[in-house]
Amino acid sequence: MSDTIYIKSKSEIEIMRQAAKIAAGARSVGRQAVRDGLTTRQIDKAVHEFIVKSGAKPSCLGYAGFPAATCVSVNEEVIHGIPGRRVVHNGDIVSIDLCATYRGFIGDCAGTYPCGEVSDEAKALIEATRQAFFEGIRFAKVGYRISDIGAAVQEYVEGKGYSVVRDFVGHGIGRDMHEAPEVPNYRTERRRPDPRLVKGMTICVEPMVCAGGWQIEILKDGWTVVSKDRSLAAHYENTILITDGEPEILTMADDI
């Protein structure tokens, strides 16, 4: 990945808003498809169809060889689950992660959703993961550095007794799905570069949280990331824009 941080112009930001809006709509469709008896492939199909119907392209399909539009990760699967024949059942938690390319720019978002009634532990993990994003973006403002976001995410997550994944991080986004800078969800004060936030940056903040330890394993399919101790995991991500004031959550939707 190039080290260049691309600051977006007004007109580029306008397109980013449109791409992100489609991604957010697709996440809502995925969330509604998390139903007892549906396969992860059916969830992916609903998301894929929405993206195409919106005039966009599913950016994950074919990215580094990923075979679908949507990453669908169940229970102890953290991220990058490949949609397939697996059936989701009441009590499962399902993470949906997707990107949409529209007029050359990409929107990226993710969320973890319950299938039917889930345990109180699962509900609390989902809610803490979502809240960790909001804790992090309190520092997504001019005057702070990238590491301030991760420090806030980690502090909140660990305060709840959970852990935050280290092996995968958030990222800049624009014409490419993954642009500089990396956006870790944990403390990295001593890591350089640690860029200052600048108006016009577009980044993805995406806490990946495990109920147990933070260590992960990648399954034999080469993609699916699971918690090493097989504890439940959740993911929450939005594409945001750094402004003069509060960050703008570009992948905002009514039901995020």
- Nearest residue relative to Co ion (C-beta): 204
**CB of 65: closest distance to ligand MF3 in angstroms?**
8
Interface with ligand MF3, residue 99, by CB under 6 A: yes
- Pick the closer one to Co ion by CB: 108 or 135: 108
Interface with ligand MF3, residue 237, by CB under 6 A: yes
Q: Name the token pair of 104.
A: 């050359």
- Are 200 and 13 in contact by the 8 Å Cβ rule? The answer is yes
Please identify which residue in 148, 182, 206, 248 interacts with ligand MF3, judged by CB under 6 A. Answer: 206
Interface with ligand MF3, residue 44, by CB under 6 A: no
Query: Helix crossing, 10-32 with 40-53: angle to 10°?
Result: 140
Please identify which residue in 71, 169, 209, 226 interacts with ligand MF3, judged by CB under 6 A. Answer: 71
**Residues of this chain, 55-114, that bind Co ion according to CB under 5 A:** 108
Please identify which residue in 23, 29, 34, 60 interacts with ligand MF3, judged by CB under 6 A. Answer: 60
Residues 127-156 vs ligand MF3: string with x where CB under 6 A?
A: ------------------------------
Stretch that binds ligand MF3, among 33-41, 48-56, 57-65, 181-189 (CB under 6 A): 57-65
Contacted entry of ligand MF3, Co ion, none for residue 64, CB cut-off 5 to 8 Å set by kind: ligand MF3
Residues 173-212 vs Co ion: string with x where CB under 5 A?
A: -------------------------------x--------
Please identify which residue in 76, 92, 97, 135 interacts with ligand MF3, judged by CB under 6 A. Answer: 97
- Pick the closer one to ligand MF3 by CB: 44 or 92: 44
**Exposure of 201 in the CB half-sphere (CA atoms within 13 A):** 29
3 state SS for the chain: CCCCCCCCCHHHHHHHHHHHHHHHHHHHHHHHCCCCCCEHHHHHHHHHHHHHHCCCEECCCCHHHCCCCEEEEECCEEECCCCCCCECCCCCEEEEEEEEEECCEEEEEEEEEECCCCCHHHHHHHHHHHHHHHHHHCCCCECEEHHHHHHHHHHHHHHCCCEECCCCCEEECCCCCCEEEEECCCCCCCCCCCCECCCCCEEEECCEEECCCCCEEECCCCCCEEECCCCCEEECEEEEECCCCCCEECCCCCCC
List contacts with Co ion (CB under 5 A). 108, 204
List contacts with ligand MF3 (CB under 6 A). 60, 63-64, 66, 71, 80, 97, 99, 108, 177, 204, 206, 237
